[in-house]
Amino acid sequence: MSRYQFEQVDDLGRILFCDDPALQLECVLGGLETADGTVTLHPAQTPRMPIALFEFRQAVGVGYFGYVVPKGASLDEIPEEPQLEGAILFGMRRLPPDVYCDLPWILGWELHEIPDEQPKLEERYGYTYSRLELRTPDGEIYSRTWVAHDPEWTAAALRHGYVVCLCGVELGIRGVYAMTDAQHTPGMRHEAFRRGCTLGLNAGGLVAYVDHR
């Protein structure tokens, strides 16, 4: 990401599917409120659920390469992160240490995918990009990130009509110093994701998807 794109977004981001080994959320479930009542989603009916990650670039206790637990602190003494607590107040659910199949539909939240074409990159590498905006029920932008456009992911989001959005302090996006993406293995990303959940620093839910392409 260029300096310009970095300044146009709030947080680090990634798009992937629930069966990605870095998350291992193959059985994400939730409930949708419809005119006919509550509809429970089943993993067999929602193959390859699309997920969007928003890892706070600036947060309490976060250095350039991740969260640093205060020395000697217990889980009850972990400082609260205002951005995360705000999302929970607006309906997101804090992820427990063992994430099973109970993510809620968050009424009013929306995930907007907006084309952000970079002609020089597309001409040289064939890349196209999207800006993802996670918006609260009052229409305010809660978080923005910039990701390489994935037609398969977008098609899944359009088919389902919603995306699992996870936001927090440690979702497995940051690697350690000087580590390449290839060196930052799915196992290492999964370990960081679970660590963030254990510390109570990640939250998520099912969010309506809005495509601007």
Dump pLDDT digits (tens) for 41-50. 665 656 578 9
Confidence of residue 88 (pLDDT cuts 50, 70, 90): very high
pLDDT greater than 70 at residue 55: yes
Cα distance between the two ends of the chain: 21
In 167-203, which positions are buried (b, 16+ CB within 10 angstroms) versus exposed (e)?
bbbbbbbbbeeeeeeeebeeeebbebbbbbbbbbbbb
**Which residues on adjacent β-strands are paired with residue 153?**
none
The first and second tokens of residue 142, run together, are 């809660």
Length reported for the chain: 213
pTM comes to 0.82
pLDDT greater than 50 at residue 74: yes
pLDDT greater than 50 at residue 1: no
pLDDT greater than 60 at residue 107: yes
Q: What is the mean pLDDT of residues 87-100?
A: 84
pLDDT greater than 70 at residue 26: no
Short-list 129, 162, 134, 167, CA closest to 146: 129
Short-list 203, 209, 207, CA closest to 92: 203
pLDDT score for 104: 78
Token look-up 């947060």 returns 59
Judged by average pLDDT, the poorest of 8-17, 24-33, 80-89, 142-151 is 24-33
